[in-house]
Amino acid sequence: MSREISALQRARLGYQPKLPKALRTTRTKVELGAPTEPATDREKIKELFPNTYGQPLAAIVEGEGGPVVAPLNVGVVLSGGQAPGGHNVIAGLFDALKSANEESRLFGFLKGPGGVIKGQYKELTAELIDEYRNTGGFDMIMSGRDKIEKPEHLAACKKNFAEMDLDGLVVIGGDDSNTNAAVLAEYLLAEGSKTVIIGAPKTIDGDMKNGRIEASFGFDTACKTYSELIGNICRDATSAVKYWHFIRLMGRAASHVALECALQTQPNITLISEEIHTKGITLEEIVNYIADVVHRRSQAGKNYGVLVVPEGLPEFIPDIKAMIDELSSILGRDEEYIQRLGVHSERVQYLSGHLSERSARVYSCLPQDIQEVLLRRDSHGNVPLSQVETERLLMDLVSNRIRQMKSRGKTNARFSPLGHFFGYEGRSAMPTNFDANYCYSLGFAAVQLIRARLTGYTVNVQNLTKPSNEWIAGGTPVTMMLNMEVRKGKAVPVIRKALVDLEDAPFKKFAENRERWALNDEYVFPGPIQYFGPPEISDAPTKTLALEKDEAIVPEAELVGRSS
Amino acid sequence: MSREISALQRARLGYQPKLPKALRTTRTKVELGAPTEPATDREKIKELFPNTYGQPLAAIVEGEGGPVVAPLNVGVVLSGGQAPGGHNVIAGLFDALKSANEESRLFGFLKGPGGVIKGQYKELTAELIDEYRNTGGFDMIMSGRDKIEKPEHLAACKKNFAEMDLDGLVVIGGDDSNTNAAVLAEYLLAEGSKTVIIGAPKTIDGDMKNGRIEASFGFDTACKTYSELIGNICRDATSAVKYWHFIRLMGRAASHVALECALQTQPNITLISEEIHTKGITLEEIVNYIADVVHRRSQAGKNYGVLVVPEGLPEFIPDIKAMIDELSSILGRDEEYIQRLGVHSERVQYLSGHLSERSARVYSCLPQDIQEVLLRRDSHGNVPLSQVETERLLMDLVSNRIRQMKSRGKTNARFSPLGHFFGYEGRSAMPTNFDANYCYSLGFAAVQLIRARLTGYTVNVQNLTKPSNEWIAGGTPVTMMLNMEVRKGKAVPVIRKALVDLEDAPFKKFAENRERWALNDEYVFPGPIQYFGPPEISDAPTKTLALEKDEAIVPEAELVGRSS
């Protein structure tokens, strides 16, 4: 930590996160419901998880009797990319453990799952925890992207946990990490280890959610940080009246971040990968749509605008997808030969000869630097589509389209695009009051699940659009959220990613308004995240959550409904 | 305006900005001090401004007697780039006018000084003003970059003002706009026009300041917005521990924004154009310094870091400046021939033959795309150095340097740089409480100067590090701030830009700490701008202002001292 801290840091270190009513006492008990089943692939998942399949839902309620006397040894690990609130989950674990028994101890595994496998950890003391209360980032114990999946990994974990006399491990991560947590839980149970495994739902992409898990933590803070910036840029656009801002946001698979920011700021154009994929909208159609909005706005005297796009868009455009598949096989065959072709134009010519007509057309319309990027396969032998800066791709293609329209006298729009990417600015931001309270509650609840000796569960807190004292904490068996998917040619159990559902309220609200937002300037300016002041400003949930909760409550049964 | 507004927008529309004590009553009077003189070029400036030269300083104090009865017609114009608080100056003008006399009217000239020349304006009604209170952006009446300087412009203004029966015009702009305001004031006075001209100090670059003008408005909000993002990126850097973030900030001439953000967040490296210029530090020395810090941090196991650089840096690097001058003359002679050279390498070879050895070396070490950019002169015949993305230039050069060091076994640093540019994100942000109060006070005070029939003044509010009721409002004759400078080969009167002074407290504090900041992680996380909560969080001035005010008060005499 830096020796000098800001006035806001000081205030936030002293902020006491709010807890659901049932967690405000150490006299809690865990109530178990009926056995559960996944929505699909039941036989296969039952076969893979004989010991943890079909476990009941868990609800944490106020109980009688005194607090547990026996001290607990608990470990915690951060997995994957930073999300605001990670330190609050850890603080919640710490306070819950100590409030139940001062002798309890919390250990932080270092640099992600790799630290669990290697048995690298440090004890988290009150002094250390106090340094990180309500702070952003994962720097307290750091994170990593290793996976605990190979047999030797599992064995190493069992050994380390035994040496540490660990009662439980809390894995803070996304869908994959929670899946791996379930695999580890199943293994340890089968091996007769006493260590239980609890997952916590983290990802700013917001794609780990269902009827039980209303939101993954970090999404609230990240989206509000990006929305502040997008709103500021919208205000600048209406003041400068001469630039089109193309803003790329995080979201490789799901477009929840882009959709939430669109609902918060109402930019002129927002592209949603899921819609483009579902409707099979081509690159040319996308470019024409944008160019048409640019043209229609210019006719209204508005040669400016704001466009928001998720970074992962290209992978969801059917003709790009097809072209990439063809490129992969051509490069798999002729990569060396193509690289040896000295001049760019020769490479393009060669490919045009070997790509299908449609893919050749798509490839030829790409900017030269992107054409080159797509000719070098990455270490996994894949064409590195993810290296394409989506906003620049669109800026170039739309510029060309507008030039074309001008030459044909079809428009006189002045089009000056500017590109932006917002990612790192939000991943490690100070958690909002919402994320601070939510994450602290998740940590607190996880300890109750460990006390109840539950394993293979993801901790959840529901009723999130209500005041925090009305929040309801519990646990959801991971097996219940699993389905079988093919990864690297192999069918594996995974928690299905919750993509943007075109039938859900958030997308519907966007779709109903986008034509108006495109032509009028109906920008909304959320401003910076507030930690003080009126609760409707400082404690409001995301628009996504509010709109989803307005819908009829999703039956527990169709847990994966949102993404099915 | 958008029909839907955010909760924070609603709260800010209702925020009542605070005023200095003397402005809280309509019973104010303007006290005039002794005649003033500029620090230099007195004879020349006296000759150019015979009617407005030597005017006294003005102080606005509580007076006796009733408010002025006669209604006033006042115009206002926004000049140059957006700065948070512009709408608050206008709201201050409006409220001050109406509080003195309900019959008074305020007219907003549209799209900048061009609107004044063309006589394009709209009356600003209570309804319109209320829509924009405490909002960012300049979208209420928009801005422009035209200049009122040619004789026909001045004549057009006189004619328009007469037709509007305008008592005064408030020009909201930077050093150039305030200079032009003085020229217009001098002209109108000589012509016997009744319209007085008052300037208001605006620029987020923070380069219009002196002993009387403690800060230009917008600087506070913009720097705090950028500092939020830089702090978030610092936190992400210590969490991900694998990226070096190179962050470009606004500041073509002055580096105040970069310096303020450095004091707010304490990144590992901050480059200050004024220091590089003053000390004649070469591009190679800059690259070596950065590479050395990268190396030393990597030895401490830190393959990450944060660097902050003002966009205008390249123009202050002596060997780049020299190279650009040589390039200009070569291109002036052989541009067509060079463009006709088909292959890039031939162009480089040709230039190497014609540039001095030193410049050839500098040019040859530049990335190819930048080499190409510098071969096309802009419409003014200048080599477009401003098109070079400073952070990318440094990223490329440092990458090469590190590769070189590795090949010589001089380092084993892993260097993965990421570039960012923050500009538009802050120019139109919602003004902080400080800027909201400061700008509203400037507008309120400007009306008092107009009531006193003063012309050729810049309105100022001092004592800004004290609570707003202790602020002191007044007016400073523009002629007092002028000096003669050569622009486009011609000596003209201008307000000297206040550049970062290496002898002033803000730079000294940075210089004393930078070695520690470079190697340790002493990042500070300011977090987002707060409008509510403890005043030390929501109302604090910039570090720059606080440090400058801690110094002995600058004698009025050396008004341009900070930049001399």
State whether A403 and A303 are in the same domain.
Answer: yes
pLDDT of residue A391: 96
Residues B233-289 have pLDDT tens digits of: 999 999 999 999 999 999 999 999 999 999 999 999 999 999 999 999 999 999 999
Contact assignment for B537 to A5 by CB distance below 8 Å: no
Residue with tokens 């009723």: A463
- pLDDT category at A554 given cuts 50, 70, 90 is very low
State whether B241 and B205 are in the same domain.
Answer: no
Q: Is residue A10 part of a domain?
A: no
Give the gap in angstroms from C-alpha A423 to the nearest C-alpha of chain B.
9
- pLDDT category at A1 given cuts 50, 70, 90 is very low
The domain boundary, picked from A476, A498, A520, lies at A498
Number of domains in chain A: 2
Residues B468-524 have pLDDT tens digits of: 999 999 999 999 999 999 988 899 999 999 999 999 999 999 999 999 999 999 999
Residues A476-485 have pLDDT tens digits of: 999 999 999 9
Question: Which is more confident, B225 or A65?
Answer: B225
Q: Is residue A562 part of a domain?
A: no
Tokens of B472: 């002191």
Produce one character per residue of A58-91: b if its CB has 16 or more CB atoms within 10 Å, e if not: bbbeeeeeeebeeebbbbbbbbbbbbbbbbbbbb
The domain boundary, picked from A442, A467, A498, lies at A498
Q: Is residue A340 part of a domain?
A: yes
State whether A372 and A406 are in the same domain.
Answer: yes
Contact assignment for B524 to A2 by CB distance below 8 Å: yes
Q: Is residue B550 part of a domain?
A: no
Give the gap in angstroms from C-alpha A531 to the nearest C-alpha of chain B.
7
User: At residue A497, does pLDDT exceed 80?
Assistant: yes
- What's the CATH code of the domain at A312? 3.40.50.460
State whether B175 and B266 are in the same domain.
Answer: no
State whether B353 and B464 are in the same domain.
Answer: no
Residues B281-308 have pLDDT tens digits of: 999 999 999 999 999 999 999 999 999 9
Q: Which of A8, A110, A143, A225 is the best residue to mutate to test the B interface, defined by the most B CB atoms within 10 Å of its own CB?
A: A8
Mention every residue, 6+ apart, whose C-beta is less than 8 A from residue B559. Answer: B38, B39, B210, B211, B212, B476, B480, B481
- What's the CATH code of the domain at B195? 3.40.50.450
Tokens of A63: 């109980």
State whether B57 and B203 are in the same domain.
Answer: yes
Task: Please state the rounded mean pLDDT for residues A493-510.
Answer: 96
**Residue in A95, A176, A205, A207 annotated catalytic:** A205
pLDDT of residue A37: 96
Q: Is residue A361 part of a domain?
A: yes
pLDDT of residue A66: 59
Average the pLDDT over each of A24-28, A326-330, B44-48, B372-376 and give the range with the smallest value: A24-28
Give the gap in angstroms from C-alpha A249 to the nearest C-alpha of chain B.
14
What is B223-289 written as a DSSP string? HHHHHHHHHHHHHHHHHH-S-EEEEEES-SS--HHHHHHHHHH--SEE--HHHHHHHT--HHHHHHH
pLDDT of residue A386: 84
The answer to whether A132 touches B228, Cβ cutoff 8 Å, is: no
pLDDT of residue A389: 93
Q: Is residue A464 part of a domain?
A: yes
pLDDT of residue B69: 67
Q: Is residue B22 part of a domain?
A: no
The answer to whether A184 touches A158, Cβ cutoff 8 Å, is: no
Structural domain for A140, as ranges: 37-62+72-218+431-498
Task: Please state the rounded mean pLDDT for residues A199-217.
Answer: 95
The domain boundary, picked from B390, B425, B460, lies at B425
Task: Please state the rounded mean pLDDT for residues A184-192.
Answer: 98
Task: Please state the rounded mean pLDDT for residues B67-91.
Answer: 93
State whether A298 and A188 are in the same domain.
Answer: no
State whether B371 and B307 are in the same domain.
Answer: yes
Q: What are phi and psi of A63, to 5 degrees?
A: -125, 180
State whether A86 and A235 are in the same domain.
Answer: no
Interface of B with A in 108-137 (CB under 8 A): 135-137
ipTM: 0.95
State whether B148 and B239 are in the same domain.
Answer: no
% of chain A exceeding 70 in pLDDT: 96
| A176 tagged catalytic | no
A238 shares contact with chain B (CB less than 8 Å): yes
CA A348 to chain centre: 37
User: At residue B564, does pLDDT exceed 60?
Assistant: no
State whether A319 and A195 are in the same domain.
Answer: no
B82 shares contact with chain A (CB less than 8 Å): yes
State whether B281 and B177 are in the same domain.
Answer: no
Strands (E), A131-216: 143-144, 168-173, 196-201
Q: Is residue A521 part of a domain?
A: no
Taking all residues of chain A, what is their mean pLDDT, rounded to a whole number?
Answer: 93
B232 shares contact with chain A (CB less than 8 Å): yes
